[in-house]
Amino acid sequence: MKHNLYSVVLMAVSLLFVAACSSPDPEATEQRYLASVEPMVTLYTFAEEGVTPHAEVVRATQITAYPNCVEQRDGVEYMKVVYQGVTCYVPTDNLAVSADDVVREKEVWVRTPTTILRDVESSKIAGFADKGAKLVVLGYDALAESGRVATYHVRLGDVEGYVYGRYVVATEAAALLRYKAEEYDPIHSAVKDSFGGGEAIGCDFYPVEKPKFEDNPMPEACYSLYINAGGNALKNIESYISLAKQSKINTFVIDIKDNQTPGFKASAMEEYSPTNYRRAPNNEELYRNAVKRLHEEGFYVVGRITCFKDSYFVQDNPQCAITERATSEPFKHNKAYWPSGFDRRVWEFNVALAKEAVEKFGFNEINFDYVRFPDRMTRVEELVDYHNRYGESKVQAIQRFVRYATDEIHKLGAYVSIDVFGESANPGYTTAYGQYWAAISNVADVICGMPYPDHFSAGYYGISKPWNSPFEIMYQWGRRVQSRQAVTPTPAVVRTWIQAYNVMRHVDPNGIAYDAENVEKEIRGLYAADLTGGYITWLASSNLEKYKQQLDAYKKDYLADWKRGAVAAEQER
C-alpha cells in the first residue's frame, strides 16, 4: 500500500513538472549567465531522493537555459539548463539575461584591512577600510577566472572609491574571522608590545599569493652590488659591469631616491614634492642607459627608494610630517625630517615614484628602505604628533603600506622588497618603530634584513665583539630569522644586506677591515643558517676600488655550495 502511494506521489510530481515545461514551448532555449553573490554557483540534478548538487560552476559562465521549464522544489524555483551535455537545474535567482548582471553583491565586508583607491590606474588613495567594515557595492570591473571580482566600486560613509576583491567577503561573520586563529593567534598574542610599536595580533596574516612574473624572473639567489644615486657611479656603469662579470654577481641595486638625494627629475616629485624635483639632477638618460646596459648584460636590476625619511618631502608637505606637539612644527630626528608612516599622501608619493621608475626604466624590482617610524623615540614619544588619522598601531600602518605598495607595483609586473632592521628578527616583541618581521614577510615578495655586524652591541648573542666575528653573528641572526619565517603563512624570500664597509671607528677603532675574507664569512654565515635568497652589499660610497678588493668573496656561488652540502647531509642520513 505504501509503495503504491509513493508511486502516485511521484507520478503527480512528474505531471506537475511536465505541465511546467509544456507551455508555451518546453524546448525553447535561451543563453543565460550564471549569477550569484558568491564566485561559484551550484547546479543541481533532480532524483527520487530529492535535489542533489551536481557541479560548482564559476559565475558569469554562459549556459543554455529552458525558460519555459521551471519547477519549484522545497520552496525554491529552479530552471532547467544544460551544462556540459548534462541536464541540470539552477535556482532562477542564479540566472541572468545579461553578463552585466552576474555579480549580485549589494554589500561586502572587509576581511583584510585595505586601502580605498580614488582610481585604480593612478593608485591615489581615497580612504581606508578596517577589518569588519561594511562597504556598499556600487559596481565592479572584470571577474577573475575564479569568479571573484578583481575590483569593487564601493562606498564607505562619505568615501567612494575602489577596493580589491581579494580583501572582502560576503558576510560580516566571515570578515571578522582571523586566519587559522587556533594556530596563529596564540603565537602573535604572545608577542609583547614592549616599546609602543603595537600589538602583533593586530596585523593581518591571511595568506598572500606571491607572484612569479614569467617575463620577469627573479634569480633564485640574488648576489647584489649596491650603487648610489650619485651621477659618477652611474656614469661609470661599464666598470661596475666589468667587475660583476668577473664574479657571480647577478643583481644591481640602484638608488632612485635617498633622503635629500633624489636620483632624477621624476614627474611624481614634480607633483608631490617640488623640492625633490628641483634638487634632482637631469639624470633620466643616465638611469635609462644604466638599466638598459645592465639588462643587456643579463643582470636583474632593483631600484631603491627611501620612504619615511625625506626632509624635502616634509619641506613641501609639512602637514604630512611627524610634528612637535608644543610648536606644531616638523620634528627633526637624526638630522632629518620624517613624514609620518600613517600619512597616505607620503604612501602615494613613494608608490607613484616607484611605478614611474618601473615604467620609464624597466626596473625588475623596487626596494623600499626606511619603511618604518623613527627609532630611539621612547623618551620623546609623548612630545610628538604622528597624525594618526585612522587610529592604527605602528606595526599595522607599516604592514598596510607594504600591502598597498605591492598591490600597485605588481600591476606593472615588478616585485617589491622591504628593508628591515636586523633587530626585527628578535623574538618576543614588536619593535618601537613598527617593523614586525612576520607581518611584513607575509605580504612582501622579498624581506631584506640589515644585520650589519658593527650594529650589534658587545656580547650580543653571546659574541664578545660581533663586528669581529662576521660568520658567527650572521649565523646566529639567521637562525632567529628562520623562527620568524616559520610563523608567517606566506613568507617572503630573505635577501640580506651585508656589511661591505670597514668597522666604524666609533664602534671599535681596532675593528677588522671588511675585506674579501670577512665579506665571505658574512655570506657563509647566512647560508649556514639556510638563508639562501642572496645578499646585497651595503657600501654607501659604492666605491669601485673597495668592491674590487672584495672581489674574491663575490666570485663564490654560495647557493650551489649550500645545495651540495644539503645533498651530502641527506646522503649521510
- Domains of the chain with bracketed CATH: 2-99 (no CATH), 107-177 (2.30.30.40), 200-562 (3.20.20.80)
Q: pLDDT band at residue 23, thresholds of 50, 70 and 90?
A: low
In this prediction, residue 22 carries a pLDDT of: 54
Work out the average pLDDT over 279-284: 96
Q: pLDDT band at residue 144, thresholds of 50, 70 and 90?
A: confident
**Which ranges in 169-305 belong to alpha helices (H)?**
172-176, 181-189, 231-235, 237-245, 267-272, 274-279, 284-296
Report whether 378 contacts 281 (CB < 8 A). Answer: no
The bridge status of strand 365-369 relative to strand 415-421 is parallel
Task: At 68, list the grid cell.
Answer: 519555459
Work out the average pLDDT over 40-53: 92
Q: What's the whole-model pTM score?
A: 0.93
**Alpha-carbon distances, residue 422 vs 24, 315, 459, 476, 477 (angstroms):** 75, 30, 16, 11, 8
Residue 192 DSSP code = B
Report whether 235 contacts 286 (CB < 8 A). Answer: yes
d(CA 284, CA 234): 11
d(CA 63, CA 82): 7
Instruction: Assess whether pLDDT exceeds 50 at residue 467.
Output: yes
**Alpha-carbon distances, residue 347 vs 344, 505, 544, 567 (angstroms):** 5, 36, 34, 45
In this prediction, residue 20 carries a pLDDT of: 53
Q: pLDDT band at residue 1, thresholds of 50, 70 and 90?
A: very low
Mean pLDDT of the chain: 94
Work out the average pLDDT over 245-254: 98
d(CA 381, CA 28): 74
Phi first, then psi: what are they for 368, rounded to 5°? -100, 125
In this prediction, residue 566 carries a pLDDT of: 87
In this prediction, residue 8 carries a pLDDT of: 38
b vs e for 109-138, b when ≥16 Cβ sit within 10 Å of the residue's Cβ?
A: bbbbbbbbbbebeebebbbbbebebebebe
Report whether 290 contacts 271 (CB < 8 A). Answer: no
Phi first, then psi: what are they for 310, rounded to 5°? -155, 90
* CA 224 remoteness from chain centre: 21
Report whether 263 contacts 256 (CB < 8 A). Answer: yes
Instruction: Assess whether pLDDT exceeds 80 at residue 396.
Output: yes
Nearest to 369 by CA among 448, 263, 287: 448
Q: pLDDT band at residue 231, thresholds of 50, 70 and 90?
A: confident
Task: At 119, list the grid cell.
Answer: 582610481
Q: pLDDT band at residue 129, thresholds of 50, 70 and 90?
A: very high
Work out the average pLDDT over 539-545: 97
> Longest Cα pair distance anywhere in the chain, in angstroms?
104
Q: Give every strand in the sheet of 151-156, ordered side by side.
A: 125-129, 114-117, 159-164, 151-156, 134-140, 107-110, 168-169
Question: In this predicted model, which residue has the larger pLDDT, 519 or 8?
Answer: 519
Task: At 421, list the grid cell.
Answer: 632592521
Q: What is the pLDDT of residues 315-324, one digit of tens each?
A: 999 999 999 9
Nearest to 444 by CA among 482, 480, 414: 414
CB atoms within 10 A of CB 463: 17
Task: At 305, list the grid cell.
Answer: 627608494
d(CA 473, CA 258): 28
In this prediction, residue 2 carries a pLDDT of: 42
CB atoms within 10 A of CB 55: 14
3 state SS of 394: helix
